[in-house]
Structure 1
Amino acid sequence: MTSTLGRPRHATARIRLRVVHVLTGGTTAAVWLLLPATAHAPGHPVAAAPTVSTTVPARADTVPAGATPAGTTRTAVGFGAAEQDGSAVDLALPLVVAVAAVLAAGYGYVRRTRRVRTRTTPAPAPSAPPAPGTGGTERQAREALIRADDCVRASAEELSYVAEAEGGPAREALRAAEAELAAAFAIFGRWAEGVPEDAHARRQALVGVVGRCEEAGRRLDAEAAGLDRLRGPAGGPALGVAERRFRELTARAAAAQGTVTTLRERYGVRADRYTEVTLDRLVFATARLNEARRAVDSGADREAARQLRAAESAISQAGIQIDGVDRLADRLAEATALVPAALAAAEEDLAAAREQGAAPARADEVLAAVRETPRPYDPLDALRRITGAVRRPGEARAEVLHEAARLVAEAAVDEAADYIAVRRGAVGADARTLLAAARQALAATDRRAEHDAEADVLARRALESAEADVRAHPAPYADEPGHPAGLAGAVLGGVLLGEEPDGGPPVSFGGPATRDRLRLPRLP
C-alpha cells in the first residue's frame, strides 16, 4: 500500500526513525558541549576541578640539577577550571547555531535522498543544451551568396566578349558555378521560410549555403588564368570588340530614349531609369576605352587590361538596359492585344464558376474596373488583375488566361533581373534569393497557373527589396569632386569593387580569389 505521493509507508517510517536518531545524537552533543558553561553561570557555585596525579619516573642521567630525583608529580586541571569560564560561555551561542544548521541540513538531505529513491512518477527530463546560434552563420551565408552571385554575373559578362566557339573550359566552369549558386539560393530560400525547423538543421543548412558558394567560386577561380591566356593582351582583338559593341549601343541608346517617351505617352509607363543607367554607363565606358587605347599605345599592358575590363562591364550593363526597354515595349504591345480576349475568357470562366457555386469573391468588381480603366493604362497591370480575379487553384482555365499570366510573370521577372544586374553593388541577399525563386517558378515545366502567379509575386517582392537596398545604400564617390563621370554608377553597378580612391579594380572572370587580379600594385 502506498501513500498519495507514491512512497511506501514503511519507507516513511524508516525516514522518521533516522531523523529521530539524528536529532537525539545532535542534542546529546550539544548538551555535552554546553554543560560546563551552564555550570559556571553567574549565581552558581564553582565546583573544584577534579585533579589527577600522575607519577612519571625519571631517569637519573636526564634529571637536571635541583630537580626531584625520584620522579615528578604532574597535576592535570579539568575543563571546569576558572580560567576556562570565559571561553566556554563565549562559544555557547555559535555552537548552538552550528548544531542546529547541521541537523537541518542532515534532515533535508535524508528526505531528498529517500524521495528520489522511492519516486514512482518519472523524473523531469534534463533540459537540452542550448541550440547554437545562427547569427554569425547567417551573416556568412548572406555574404557568400552576394559574393558568389557577383562573381557569376561578372564572369558571364566577360565571357560575352569571347567567341562562342572559344573558352570551352571557362564556359563549363561558369555553368557549374551557376548550378552551385542556384542550389545555394534554393537552400537559403527554404531557410528563410522556416524550413527546416530544427535549430541544428537550420544551422547546417546555412553551412551548406556557404559551401555551395565556395565551390562556385573555386570553379571560376580554376579557369581564370586560362581565360586570360585565351583573350591575350588588351591591345589585341579584345579592345576592338569592345569598341565595336560600344558604337552599336551608342546608336541604339538614342532610339531607346524615343521608345521610353512613347511608352510614357501610350501606356503611362515610366521607363526613364533604363535610359538613365544606359547613359551613365556609356559615359563611363567612353572614358575607360580612351584610357585603354592610350595605355596600349604606351605599352602599359596591365593598365590597358584594367581599363578595358572596366569598359566591357559598363558596356554590358548599358546593353542590358537597352534590351530591357525594347523587351518592355514588345510586351506592352502584346499585352494590349491580349486584354480584350482575356476579359472575355475571364467572364466565361466566372460564369461557369458561379454555376458551381465557386465564384471568386469580388471578381465581378475587378473585371468591371478593368473595363472602365481610362487611357492611358498599363496593359500588363490589367492582365495581372484579370488573371488574379478568376484564379482558382487546381481548376482548368482558358488558354488565353494561361498566356496572359505567363506574359505578366515574364515581364515582372525580367524587370527585377534588369534592376538588380546594374545595381548589384548595393543589392543584398534577400532580393537575389527572391529573384532566383521567381526564375525557378517561371521555369516549371508543367505550366500551372500557380507557378506563373508565384513567379510574378516573387519577382515583384525581389524588385521592392532591391529598391529598398539601393535607397539605404550610401553613394560613395557621388559627391566627391575630382572623380570622373560615371564612377559612382560603376561602383553601384558592381563594375568596380569600390575599394580604392579611384573606384578600385574592375571585376574580372573568376571567383573571390581571382576576380580582383587587375588591382594596382600596392605601394610600400
Structure 2
Amino acid sequence: MTSSLFRGRPRRATGHIGVRVGHVLLGGVAGAVWLVLPVRTTTAQDPVPVPAHEPVATARADGASTTDYVMPLVAVAAAGALGGYGYVRRVRRSRSRTTPGMVSTAPPPPSPVDLERQARAALVLADDCVRTSDEALGYVDGGDAVAAAVRTAGTELSAAFAIWRRYEEGIPGEDTGRRQALVGVVGRGTEAGRQLDAAAARFDAAWEAGDALAVAEGRFRELAGRTGGVAAVLTEAGERYGSAAVAAVLGYVEQAKDRLVFATGRLNQARREADSGDGDGFRRGVRAAEGAVAQAGVLLGGVARLAAELRGAAALVPAALTGAEAELAGVRAAASASRLSHADTVLAAVREELTGGPYDTLDALRRVVRAVEGAGGGRSGVIAAGAELVARSALGAADDFVGVHRGAVGAEARALLAEAWRAAPPDADRLARRARELAGRDVRAHGNPYAGEAAHESGLAGAVLGGVLLGEEGDGGPVVTFGGPETRARLG
C-alpha cells in the first residue's frame, strides 16, 4: 500500500525525473568545460600585448596543462549525476512498495475446522484442570478463596460445555453465529483455567503449611488395606447378579493396585528427596502420589458403589413392576396400542428374570422405567425413584471412567457427561451411558505408549493414562498439580 504522501502526487511529475537528471548531467559537464578551458576574445587583437617569449597557454610548474583535468572533472560530474539519479529511483521504489514496517498484515482468520479443533482442545484442557484441582483440594485446606476458584472454574467449564453441545446440535445455524459460539467455548475454557491459575499460589501456601506427606501416606495405607475387601465384593456381586451386571467395573481393582504401586514409588522418592534437602523433588514425589492415590480411591469406590446400587435395584424391582402395572392401567385409554404392547412385553420379561437366576438388577429396573415412560407414565412414585437410581448409577460410572482415564478421553464424551449432569433422570441416564461408551472408545483408540514391562511394573502407564503425569516424556513427564494451563505443570 503506497504512503498517503505519495498517493496524491501527479504521476506525470514523477515520470519526468529521468529527463531532469539528464539536464542536470549536461549542465554539469558544460559548466566544467567552461571553467577549465581558456577563453579567448573574439577581437582580432589581444587587449593586452603578450610578450613574445611567453607561451600562449599557461603552464604549471610541474609541467601539467589545465586541459589535463577536463576529463577527470567530467567523469566526476557524470558519476555524481548518475548517483543522484540512482538515489531518486531507490527512494521512489521504497515509498511505492509495501513493507512490513509500513503496513501491518494480520494473519488470516482460522477456518471453522481450526476453530473446532481449538474448542475441543480448550474443553479437554479446562476439564483436566478442574478435575485435577478438585482432587488436590482433598489433600489440603486451601481456604474459601481456593475452593471458590474451583467452583467458579467449574461454572465456566459447564457453560463452555453447554455452548459446545448446542453447537453440535446445529445451534446457531448461521456461519457467523457458529464461529462466535466456538470463540465462546474457547473463551469460557480459558477463563476457567485463569481462575485456577490465579489461586495456585494460595493453594501452594496452604499445601506447604500442612503435612502433605503424612496425609498422602495415611490415605495410601487405608486404600491398600481396602483392595482385598473390594475385590471380594466384586466377586460376590458378579456371582449374585451375573457378569454383565459388573462388566463396567471389571479390572478396576487391578487398576487401583496399579495406581498404588506408582504411589509407593513416588512416596519413597519423596522421602529420599526430603532427606537430601531437595524440596522440589519432594514436592513432585508427594503430589504425584496424591494424584495416584486419589484415582485408586475412585476406582475402588466405583466398585463398592456399583455393588450397593445393584442391591438397591434388586430391592426396588418388584415394587417397580407393581407400580408400572398400576401406571399402565391409568394410561391405557390414552396411550397407543403399540406402546402399551411393548410395555407389557418388557414387564413380562422382567418378571421372568426374577425367577430365572442371576440377573442385572439395574438393567431390569432401567427397562421397567423406560417402558412406563414410553407409554406416557413414570413421573411419580416408585417409577420415578427407579429412574433416579439408574440415572445416578450411570452418571457415577461415566464420571469415574472419564476421571481415571482423562489422559485419553476426548471432548465429545466429556461434553455429553456434562449435559447428563444437568438433565432430568431419564435423559441423564441415556446421556451418561452414551458418554461412557464414547470414553471407552477413546481409550481403546488411544492405546498405551507406555506399554513396556518396566512401565507396567512401576505403574507409570496408569499414571499417564489417568492424567497424573502429562505424558510428554519417556519418564511420564511433569506431574500435574492444582492450577490452570499456566501453572498446573509448575512442579516440573
User: Any conservation in 2 of the 1:483–1:502 contact (CA below 8 Å)?
Assistant: no
More RCO (CA 8 Å, sep 6+): 2
Which residue matches 1:501? 474
Distance 1:473 1:465 in 2: 12
1:233-291: per-residue Cα shift (whole Å, max 9, x none)?
7xx61100100011111111111111100110001123322212211111111111111
Give runs of aligned pairs for residues 423-502 of structure 1, distance below 5 A. 423-441=405-423, 451-479=424-452, 481=454, 485-502=458-475
Which residue matches 1:223? 199
1:371 aligns with one of 351, 363, 374: 351
Distance 2:416 2:328 in 1: 32
User: Any conservation in 2 of the 1:349–1:397 contact (CA below 8 Å)?
Assistant: no
Q: Percent same amino acid among aligned pairs?
A: 56
Give runs of aligned pairs for residues 95-494 of structure 1, distance below 5 A. 133-163=111-141, 166-232=142-208, 237-268=211-242, 269-270=245-246, 271-359=249-337, 360=339, 361-373=341-353, 374-392=356-374, 395=377, 397-441=379-423, 451-479=424-452, 481=454, 485-494=458-467
Give the 3 Å change call, closer, same or farther, for CA 132–215 of structure 1 in structure 2: closer
> How many residue pairs end up in the alignment?
376
Distance 2:319 2:381 in 1: 10
SS, match of residue 460 in structure 1: helix
1:279-328: per-residue Cα shift (whole Å, max 9, x none)?
11111111111111111111111001001110000000011111112211
Distance 1:330 1:224 in 2: 37
Amino acid at match of 2:131: R
Question: How far is 1:395 from its partner?
Answer: 4.8
Structure number with higher helix proportion: 2
Amino acid at match of 2:448: A
Give the 3 Å change call, closer, same or farther, for CA 251–509 of structure 1 in structure 2: same
SS, match of residue 232 in structure 1: helix
Question: How far is 1:484 from its partner?
Answer: 5.2
Distance 1:176 1:148 in 2: 12
Amino acid at match of 1:513: E
Give the 3 Å change call, closer, same or farther, for CA 372–383 of structure 1 in structure 2: same
- The runs of at least 4 consecutive aligned structure 1 residues that moved more than 6 Å come to none
Question: How far is 1:354 from its partner?
Answer: 2.0
Question: How far is 1:433 from its partner?
Answer: 0.3
SS, match of residue 222 in structure 2: helix
User: Any conservation in 2 of the 1:335–1:379 contact (CA below 8 Å)?
Assistant: yes
- Unaligned runs of 5+ residues in structure 1 are 1-130, 442-450, 520-524
1:37-65: per-residue Cα shift (whole Å, max 9, x none)?
xxxxxxxxxxxxxxxxxxxxxxxxxxxxx
Amino acid at match of 1:478: A
User: Higher mean Cα deviation, 358-367 or 499-508?
Assistant: 358-367
Distance 2:372 2:176 in 1: 43
The normalised TM-score by structure 2 is: 0.74
User: Any conservation in 1 of the 2:320–2:386 contact (CA below 8 Å)?
Assistant: yes
User: Any conservation in 2 of the 1:132–1:200 contact (CA below 8 Å)?
Assistant: no
Give the 3 Å change call, closer, same or farther, for CA 376–395 of structure 1 in structure 2: closer
Distance 1:430 1:199 in 2: 21
Which residue matches 2:72? none
- Greater radius of gyration (CA): 1
The normalised TM-score by structure 1 is: 0.69
